[in-house]
Structure 1
Amino acid sequence: MFYYFVFLILGPLLLIQGRLVRKNIPILAEATGGRSGRLGEGRPLSLLVVGDSAAAGVGVETQDDALSGCLTRELAQKYCVDWSLVAKSGNTTADLIETLQGRPFQTDSLSVGSLPAKVLDDNWLDKRSAPDIDVVLVSLGVNDLLSPIGESHWIAQQVRLIKLLKSKFSAKHILMTAVPPMHCFPALPQPLRWFLGLRASEFNRKLVSLIELESECELVIIPLMPIASDMASDGFHPSAKVYRLWGGTAAKAIEKRIESLLHR
């Protein structure tokens, strides 16, 4: 693809910039608070949020202000939401697949005190006891994009993840969050910012094509081209404003399909 040609030309500079970014960006903690719960009244709805540092709430202090909190509050206005969060900073798609397949959590990175008992119990991710899930919201892509993985290999991993969510958790509907517009991230210098934005666009183009073939899947696009004030203090992760917008957008998408989901 075009960006491979660009990388051949700018590769040394991009690699140097990438190393400097990793060295200089402040390391923010994952949001504190519970990673499962029940909220609201009405028809039952089971929800699983999975993914990377954005899913884990990096950029805000507590899970109440993070993606899981914003999403569950919106849904709880109409439904009794039984929710869980499985996320970790640095997660690639391969990392998440490994976790969901039942490998032990790296508890030193996951802040044990904030995790629910059923997540700490290895049997929670065992095939025999994995809960059936109505809706899964996925946040992945940035760490994959920062790795050497090609877009075709990445899409193959998304296919594998979708199959796992369907087979192990009987997921009725899967929302895949688009890779964010990295050309807008203020923490990234040029031309690295431009290059990663180009790469994100290619990943999203492939993701759209995949989702068109998966009737149970839907793409969630956060309706915002972020500026510096929309980002967390590191210039790389979402702020509370973005999490609210993301959670609200996902909630609307879920509500549009909820009646059919609950009656399948």
Structure 2
Amino acid sequence: MNPVRKTFLLSQALWAKYTVRLAPEAPGERHGIVSPSSFVPEASARPLRLVAIGDSLVAGSGVEHQDLALTPRIARKIADMVNRPVQWETHAKLGSTMRRVRYRFLPEVKGHVDILFICAGSNDVMARRSREDWLDDLRAVIEQARTRADHTIVCSAGQPHHSPKLPAMLRRELAHRIDWQTAASQRICREYGVDFVDVAHAELVSDFWASDGFHPSASGYEQASGLVVQAMSFLPEMTATIR
């Protein structure tokens, strides 16, 4: 990278680090159970178990309560699609990288899991972790996930490259890094036969951003949850076969 450009980027990154005030993790219980809107009791035997692990998008930063966050919204949509209750839980922390997912959150997941949702990447990009480290961690996470869950779906980074709080040059550099990370993640997920959802390149709803200009609002999480569920290729199979 051009030394002058590198200096500008580093200065903008430092400015953002000490200027942008990130929304905290949403308060509230990080587990729950939801029933489908048109619940037919005799159609179900047990709730499906959805476990989400990852960064602030899973922790619900940007909304006032966990009920408004990403994972329970995903659970509600799955419940309506398969007409079964969904029991959900999250293991997440603001600022988490894929390495934290690998060594902290995955080991916390115990027992049978129907759907494991993995969401991390933005912090790896912003921390300028090497591509080699990212690939190593993602592969290890997917390999472990497949031993813990019947179905796994991996989510891309969010959209820090579109954050209205960040300087333009920094946004462009983040976009370049996220483009690479997204393509690499898609390729690895295909290799392992797990689903991947690209939220990093989705056209955002007009009120996507929370008050911190960095995390999703309630509307943003609603949009993201729809993208995640649409990418779950296994849901029709689950509807037909799980009893």
Indicate the residue corresponding to 1:146 in structure 2: 126
Superposed CA deviations along residues 165-198 of structure 1, whole A, max 9, x for unmatched, are: 222x2x1221111223433111110211100111
Indicate the residue corresponding to 1:14 in structure 2: 9
Q: Give the fraction of aligned pairs with identical amino acids, expressed as a percent.
A: 26
Indicate the residue corresponding to 1:110 in structure 2: none
Matched, 1:27 2:4: no
Indicate the residue corresponding to 2:95 in structure 1: 90
The question of whether the paired residues in 2 share the 8 Å contact of 1:184 and 1:226 is answered with no
Q: TM-score, normalised by structure 2?
A: 0.86
The question of whether the paired residues in 1 share the 8 Å contact of 2:205 and 2:223 is answered with no
Alignment counterpart, residue 74 of structure 2, candidates 71, 80, 86? 71
Q: TM-score, normalised by structure 1?
A: 0.80
Q: How many residues align?
A: 230
The question of whether the paired residues in 2 share the 8 Å contact of 1:185 and 1:226 is answered with no
In the TM superposition, residue 261 of structure 1 has moved relative to its aligned partner by 4.6
Structure 1 distance, partners of 2:84, 2:198, is: 23
- The change in CA–CA distance for 1:85 and 1:178 in structure 2 (over 3 A counts) is same
Structure 1 distance, partners of 2:97, 2:129, is: 10
Indicate the residue corresponding to 1:177 in structure 2: 155
Q: CA RMSD in A?
A: 2.1
Superposed CA deviations along residues 137-163 of structure 1, whole A, max 9, x for unmatched, are: 111001100113122320211011111
Structure 2 distance, partners of 1:61, 1:51, is: 19
What runs of 5+ residues in structure 1 fail to find an aligned partner? 103-124
Moved over 6 A (4+): none
What runs of 5+ residues in structure 2 fail to find an aligned partner? none
* SS across alignment from 1:230: coil
In the TM superposition, residue 52 of structure 1 has moved relative to its aligned partner by 0.3
* SS across alignment from 2:192: coil
Superposed CA deviations along residues 7-29 of structure 1, whole A, max 9, x for unmatched, are: x5521111111111011111311
- The change in CA–CA distance for 1:182 and 1:27 in structure 2 (over 3 A counts) is closer
